[in-house]
Structure 1
Amino acid sequence: MSYDLLLTGGEVIDPGSGRAGRADVAVRGGRVAAVGAGLAGAGAREVVDVSGRLVLPGLIDLHTHVHPGATYWGVAPDPIAWYTGVTTWVDAGSAGAYTIDALRAAAAGFRVRVPALLNISAIGLTGSTGESRDLRNCDVDLAISAVAANRDLVVGVKVRMDHHTVGEHGLEPLRRAVEVAAACGVPVMVHIGAAPPTVGELLPLMRPGDILTHCASGIAEGVAGKNGVDPALRAAYEAGVIFDLGHGAGGFAFDVLEAQLASGLVPHTVSSDLHARCLYGPVFDLPTTMTKLLAVGLPLHEVVAAATARPARVLDLPSGAGTLAVGARADIAVFAVEEGEFEVVDSHRQRRTARRRFVNEATYVAGRPLPPAIPAEPRPWVPVTDAQRAALRRRTARLRDLFTAPLVGADGLAEQFPRISGTDPSKGG
């Protein structure tokens, strides 16, 4: 039995199917055809030796913003996915009821999957903040209609709860988001930030299965303090609220996470909150965010589960997302795990040292490798430091040098159109 693609000798970690150990992974027709030992004998159109590498389900980033050209925050996912192993990008509220059709059109042009959380505000994230300051935008009936019309795309509702976004309206945007989610049978993702409202005020409105993103925020009041973890936070965790890391430009602090871990509150999911303002740092990408969890002592298998099987389950994503089970779409991420001392940084320039880090070596979507691509330069409104700008210039120069140099010399070429034997080119025609 021949396969289209065969990855041999890798260390497969697939929390969704409970598999962990050395195995081959075979792909046929864009789907996982077999996982196990000794598959090489069946033959394949392409065989890739991944010995010494991790073979994971394509990563799921539970919190991203991938609607470039229609939102302040958006980035194009494919040029980042190929070097990060992220094959499912959950767009967390870039679009509301007014703009969900545009997100659908954009998502259709991406090779990666882009399920969406509908913003409770119909205008979505066209600007930097403030989408819920006018409650006329938080129209419950309109949002319910938008979810109902897009059930193949929309998997939840997003609401941002900080004083910059809600103004004087306090908890009302959250109440409306929960009403929409309850009517549609989907979870709510709640962004937390600078109070009011405080985390302690909004947690009682959240239901089991709802998602608290930026759970280890350094700016949200009520996630951790000098006296340890707020009892309301523990109560929500024990009641089934999902804690999502949601790194972002300002949503993650090492000391807060460490206090939560010491109290037994381990994030259920790890997401990057990748957007235009943090792509160039401090987030960079999801594997870097996963490395930060290794730096604070979480086991590698726990971190992998938090970026594969768990987010798939939390959002009830289509069958096959976040797993290498036979029959699943062959979204596959191949990683090296490098050992050394690697400095990592949170949203507040706190540093930690990771002894291991994830380095992506290949990303497959439906069994086909994602080709290299270069992420766009920062948009004019994206703040970048002089150091970031200089680093981007160096990267561009290195890429130019790489592509302008001949790929191989004469010895590496084949003569595609050989001359006829005995022809003397000096005598012409």
Structure 2
Amino acid sequence: MTDDLLLTGARVLDPGGGRSGRYDVAVRGGRIAAVGADLPHRDARHVVDLRGKLLTPGLVDLHTHVYAGATYWGIHPDPVAWYSGVTTWVDAGSAGAYSIEAFRRAIRDFRVRVPVLLNISAVGLTGRTGESRDLENCDVDLAVATVADNRDLVAGIKVRVDRETVGRHGTEPLRRGVEVAAACGLPVMVHIGTTPPRLADVLALLRPGDIVTHCASAIAAAADGGGPVSPALREAHAAGVLLDIGHGSGGFAFDVLEAQLAAGLTPYSVSSDLHARCLYGPAFDLPTTMAKLLAVGLTLDEVVAAATVRPARALRLPDGIGTLTPGAPADLAVFTVEDGPFELVDAHRQRRYAPRRLVNDATYVAGRLLPPRLPEPPRPWIPLTAAQRQALQRRAGTVRALLTAPLVGPEGLAEQFPRQQAAVPLDPAAAVREPVADPVSEEG
């Protein structure tokens, strides 16, 4: 049987499939057909030589916001996916019960995969914050019914718990979110930040397999008073609550993560929390966020696992997503591994240096190469520094220069329609056939 695509010669790093080394990967019908050494080239329609490159499963970003045009935070994923290697974008709470159907229609136009964490607040993230200040929005029965009607789309429940979002209601929105998740057999992702409510009270409601995003937040650590490694965080981690990075524009601090690592609290997953306010920095994209974990001492194998198979397992995503297991969707990311050091900053402009970084060369979804796509301009409500605005202008100028210059010179062209064309003999029968009068022309 003929394969559609054969990727050869790369170093394959597939923590979910237990593979690390030189392998070929064959793709057929949008799925992984085989992984092995020296697969036969004659069985493939298209062969891509990846010697010197790193090949991983398509990255799974556990925390993003991709409901563009309908929410404060949303971005379009495709213009970032093609140059970052992220093929599965978990949208973390952009839509609630009131907007899930409209979000479903938007997702149909994406090239990437978008599992959804349903916001416990029916209004979702239309605004910057405050979605759970009115408890009528946190309707348990409505959320349960919404999950039941969207089982193919909803992979979990999202609750933001900080002073601005919940107001005087404390942990009640989270309690309701856990009730919905328990009724539907799903995990909860909880956002932590400013207090009240206390972090200890938030963590006490979580079950094994639930997710704390922004786990290395300096804002949450300072507000709680327990520091980066509070007893409540230790207990939650020991009980099986999963720690997720969730970088974003304010949710990640190097010193907090370093203290947690020293205490044995290693994050389960690395996510970017990519949205309209951190796309231009400080998060930028998932590979940049991954480099920040390399900068604090995690290995490349650990970081790739935290951005592929682990987030897929956390949400029980189907069909082997996040792995290169035969039969899994052929979602693939090709990288150049560049040696550093590379300077990186967290949400508070603390600096660290990564020994290496991953630079994406190609991204495949279901065996198809994602084409380049220009990013959309920032929304008018997004705060940008003067340096960010100038950098965006320079980038636009560079792209314009690339596109307005002729693609190739005369030597790169062919004469598609030669001036001297070979004579084509007429059909002898046509030559003696009586002409048919044109009634319009004869009337004229």
Q: With the length of structure 1 as denominator, give the TM-score of the two structures.
A: 0.96
Q: Is the 8 A contact 1:217 1:223 kept in 2?
A: no
Distance 1:224 1:97 in 2: 31
Q: Is structure 2 residue 135 aligned with structure 1 residue 128?
A: no
Q: Is the 8 A contact 1:214 1:245 kept in 2?
A: yes
User: How far is 1:279 from its partner?
Assistant: 0.3
Letter in 1 for 2:119: N
Letter in 1 for 2:265: L
Distance 2:26 2:311 in 1: 24
The runs of 5 or more residues in structure 1 that have no matched partner are 424-429
User: How far is 1:227 from its partner?
Assistant: 6.5
Q: Is the 8 A contact 2:216 2:228 kept in 1?
A: no
What are the equivalent positions in structure 2 for 1:154-169 lying under 5 Å apart?
154-169=154-169
What are the equivalent positions in structure 2 for 1:225-244 lying under 5 Å apart?
229-244=229-244
Query: Relative to 1, partners in 2 of residues 1:224 and 1:56: Cα closer, same or farther, differing over 3 Å?
Result: farther
Letter in 2 for 1:15: P
- Residue equivalent to 2:208: 208
Structure 1 window deviating more from structure 2 (409-418 vs 177-186): it is 409-418
Deviations 1:80-129 (A, max 9, x none): 10000000000000000001111111111101000000000000000000
3-state SS in 1 of match to 2:98: coil
Q: Is the 8 A contact 1:10 1:22 kept in 2?
A: yes
Q: Is the 8 A contact 1:3 1:42 kept in 2?
A: no
The runs of 5 or more residues in structure 2 that have no matched partner are 424-444
Matched residues, number: 423
Q: Is the 8 A contact 2:193 2:223 kept in 1?
A: no
- Residue equivalent to 1:264: 264
User: How far is 1:40 from its partner?
Assistant: 4.2
Distance 1:217 1:421 in 2: 71
Distance 1:4 1:319 in 2: 20
Query: Relative to 1, partners in 2 of residues 1:196 and 1:284: Cα closer, same or farther, differing over 3 Å?
Result: same
User: How far is 1:15 from its partner?
Assistant: 1.1
Q: Is the 8 A contact 1:250 1:347 kept in 2?
A: yes
Query: Relative to 1, partners in 2 of residues 1:277 and 1:243: Cα closer, same or farther, differing over 3 Å?
Result: same
Q: Is structure 2 residue 396 aligned with structure 1 residue 396?
A: yes
Runs of 4+ in 1 over 4 A off after TM superposition: 222-228
3-state SS in 1 of match to 2:374: coil
3-state SS in 1 of match to 2:273: coil
Letter in 1 for 2:258: E
Q: Is the 8 A contact 2:290 2:303 kept in 1?
A: yes
Query: Relative to 1, partners in 2 of residues 1:409 and 1:203: Cα closer, same or farther, differing over 3 Å?
Result: same
Letter in 2 for 1:63: H
Letter in 2 for 1:353: Y
Q: Is the 8 A contact 1:248 1:274 kept in 2?
A: yes
Q: Is the 8 A contact 2:218 2:228 kept in 1?
A: no
Q: Is structure 2 residue 280 aligned with structure 1 residue 280?
A: yes
Distance 1:422 1:46 in 2: 35
Letter in 1 for 2:202: L
Deviations 1:298-319 (A, max 9, x none): 0000000000000110000011
- Residue equivalent to 1:7: 7
Letter in 1 for 2:156: G
- Residue equivalent to 2:304: 304
Q: Is the 8 A contact 2:198 2:224 kept in 1?
A: no
Distance 2:7 2:339 in 1: 23
Distance 1:132 1:227 in 2: 26
Distance 1:294 1:188 in 2: 27
- Residue equivalent to 2:313: 313
3-state SS in 2 of match to 1:82: helix
User: How far is 1:409 from its partner?
Assistant: 1.6
Query: Relative to 1, partners in 2 of residues 1:211 and 1:279: Cα closer, same or farther, differing over 3 Å?
Result: same
User: How far is 1:224 from its partner?
Assistant: 8.7
3-state SS in 2 of match to 1:355: strand
User: How far is 1:422 from its partner?
Assistant: 8.6
Q: Is the 8 A contact 1:198 1:220 kept in 2?
A: no
3-state SS in 1 of match to 2:84: coil
Structure 1 window deviating more from structure 2 (411-420 vs 137-146): it is 411-420
Distance 1:422 1:124 in 2: 67
Distance 1:7 1:108 in 2: 28
Higher Rg of the two aligned structures: 2
Distance 1:416 1:163 in 2: 66
Q: Is structure 2 residue 353 aligned with structure 1 residue 335?
A: no
Deviations 1:186-231 (A, max 9, x none): 0000000011112112111000000000000010047997876111
What are the equivalent positions in structure 2 for 1:2-81 lying under 5 Å apart?
2-81=2-81
Q: Is the 8 A contact 1:198 1:222 kept in 2?
A: no
- Residue equivalent to 1:255: 255
Query: Relative to 1, partners in 2 of residues 1:34 and 1:150: Cα closer, same or farther, differing over 3 Å?
Result: same
Letter in 1 for 2:380: P
Cα RMSD, aligned residues only: 1.5
Q: Is the 8 A contact 2:319 2:327 kept in 1?
A: no
3-state SS in 2 of match to 1:292: helix
